[in-house]
Every structure is written in C-alpha cells, then in structure tokens.
Amino acid sequence: MRSFDSVKSLRQQINLFLDNELSAEDQKNFITQVESDPKSTRILNSEKDFREFVRNNVRRPSVTPDFIRELKNRIR
C-alpha cells in the first residue's frame, strides 16, 4: 500500500479498513502508517466514533408485514 497522498486517499483507506476490505498485508501496512501519523490517527478515530454513534443511535422504523405487502402491490 502506498502512503496517503491526500485526506481523500486516507479516508478511502479508512473506509476500506473499517469495512474489512483490505488484505491482511494491507491492513498491517495501514495500521503502521496510521500509528506513525497523529493526523491520520485522529481521522481514523473520528470515523470509528461516528460509525459507532450511528450504529447505536440510528434506528430503522419498524413496519408491519401488511404495510410491506401493500407497498409492493402499489409498485407493481
């Protein structure tokens, strides 16, 4: 894995890392690079915190099976 050329590149790598889409070697290289750069560490931690907040605080509304069936019928 190459070094981060920009914040955009870093954010892309963070997303791949947090989504478990990097190979084992790339994960290891990513962690090494992030640990050596305080700015990268802050951005990674911020994204982790945001994802945890969303996971814990955003709820999907529950819908009844009748509602789903009715919606499907309207779409057809």
What is this structure's pTM? 0.69
Query: Cβ–Cβ contacts within 10 Å for residue 17, how many?
Result: 18
pLDDT (tens digit, 9 = 90+) per residue, 9-68?
Answer: 899 999 999 999 999 999 999 999 999 999 999 999 999 999 999 999 998 889 999 999
* Model pLDDT, residue 28: 96
pLDDT at 70: 95
Residue 1 pLDDT: 46
Helices 38-57 and 24-35 pack at an angle, to 10 degrees, of 110
Beta-carbon neighbour count of residue 14 at 10 Å? 20
Our measurement of the distance from residue 17's CA atom to the centroid of its chain's CA atoms, rounded to an integer in Å, reads 8
Query: Does pLDDT of 4 surpass 80?
Result: no
d(CA 74, CA 28): 50
Show me where the domains of the chain are located.
7-75
Amino acid in the structure at residue 75: I
Q: Tell me, what's the pLDDT at 15?
A: 97
